[in-house]
Structures are given as structure tokens and as C-alpha cells.
Structure 1
Amino acid sequence: MAQQISPFFRSPFTDLTGGLVSHQLFGRCATMEMDMMDCLEAYGLDRGMRKCKDLIDEFKECHTLTKQIKRFYAMRTERERQIAEGKLKGDCRYVTPKIDSF
């Protein structure tokens, strides 16, 4: 992760183009990225990688959505298992959730 946060060679060009790689324009992970970067700025890069590990992990999850994808695959696998066992039949196989059922 250190390679992604701090450039190997710093120049005015890297300062100008550094904002293009951030998530501040996308909106979904912008606040998490700012919290992570503030923490890393406060502690420095080397010490901040240890102190800010929770914030870094939260930002990685927001960016990659790995837990959400694993949860989706687990639900789909369970549904396919129930269909194979015969618990879900006919029109009940792929019923969408009712509105406001969350």
C-alpha cells in the first residue's frame, strides 16, 4: 500500500497530477479516503501504516467491495443449494424481496 500512497520520485508534476488518482471526485469513498490521509499525514507514512491500519482497511473495502461480493456469492450459492434440494420450487425460486423489507 505504501507504493500507492507516496510516489517514488516527487516533483512539481507529481504534485499537480496527484489529485487525479484520488477518490475525491467519486463521492462514495471520499470521506474515508480523507480520514485515512489525515491520519497518515499526522503520523507519517511509515508509522501511519501501523497506527492507521483500521482506516486503511476500511478504505480498501469501500474501494474494492470484496466483502460485499463475497456476501453476494454466498447468498447465491445458498439459493442454488436450496433449489437443488427442492426447498424452493416453481415461482418461489427467484422471488424479489418485498418493498421495505430491509
Structure 2
Amino acid sequence: MASGNITPDGLSSVTPIVKTKYTDSFQLGMSKQSTRCGFFEAQFYRCMEAFGTKLGRLHCDLEHRDFGECLTSEKQKKRYDAMRAEHWKQYMNGKNDKVYENHVELGQYKPDWYRYGNLGR
């Protein structure tokens, strides 16, 4: 049986005991909706709302992992480290002459602000 703010499976919820018209506005700081991860957060909470807390842990695992990856960028960092290690290994074996091949030099790349109607916005 659920009573108060405790869900049936023992997980505590973050909803306040007394709801007023100001409680939702104070929780905006905990949300990621204004960041690049807002879409993944919305997908995760939409799935959790559809399945509930017990079944949501089972069925919303993909959305939860996508949201966590967006927050931490762990896979992106591992991929970058693997590429850098492979490039360094090739450089040490003599297959590459330079440490960075096809590297854009500082000031070499200048964005075209008028391409596709983008005026610097």
C-alpha cells in the first residue's frame, strides 16, 4: 500500500508533502529541460509515466541509459580516448609522420555565416 510520498516498491518520491502554487516553480532548477539533454529527459519521464515505477525500471532502461549518456558523455569520452590511443600507437610505430594529421590550424577555419541563410544566429 502506498502512503504519503512512498511508492509501493519502496522508492522515495521527490514530490513535496504539501503542494502549493509555488512548488512546481522551485523544482525547475532540478530539471534539464533547458539544456541539450532536455529531449532525453522528456522521453525518459514520458516512458516512466506510461509504465509506472516498478515496470518503468524494466521497460524504460533504454531511455534511462540515453539520458545518463547525455548527462555524462561517458561513451563519447571513451571513444575519443580510444581514437587518440590508436593514433598515438600508429605514430610510435612510424606509420604516421605527424602527431596530428589533417589537423585544422588555429585561424584556418572560418565559418561561413551566410551559408544556408544563417546570419550569425
TM-score by length of 1: 0.75
Structure 1: where are the runs of 5+ without partners? Answer: none
Instruction: Report the alpha carbon displacement of residue 95 of structure 1 after superposing the two structures with TM.
Output: 2.1
Of 27, 32, 45, which aligns to 2:40? 32
**What secondary structure sits across from 1:44 in the alignment?**
helix
Paired residue type of 1:21: M
- Between the aligned partners of 1:96 and 1:17, the Cα distance in structure 2 is 49
**Aligned residue runs from structure 1 range 7-86, under 5 A:** 7=14, 10-11=16-17, 12=19, 15-26=24-35, 28-86=36-94
Question: Rg bigger for which structure?
Answer: 2
Paired residue type of 1:45: T
Structure 2: where are the runs of 5+ without partners? Answer: 1-11, 110-121
Give the helix-richer structure, 1 or 2.
Answer: 1
- Between the aligned partners of 2:50 and 2:99, the Cα distance in structure 1 is 52
- Between the aligned partners of 2:94 and 2:41, the Cα distance in structure 1 is 46
Q: 1:6 matched to which residue of 2?
A: 13
Indicate the percent of aligned positions where both proteins have the same amino acid: 33
Of 97, 100, 104, which aligns to 1:94? 100
**CA RMSD, 1 decimal:** 2.4
Instruction: Report the alpha carbon displacement of residue 49 of structure 1 after superposing the two structures with TM.
Output: 1.1
Aligned length: 91
**Alignment deviations for residues 45-89 of structure 1 (CA, whole Å, 9 cap, x no partner):** 222111111111111111111110000000000011011101111
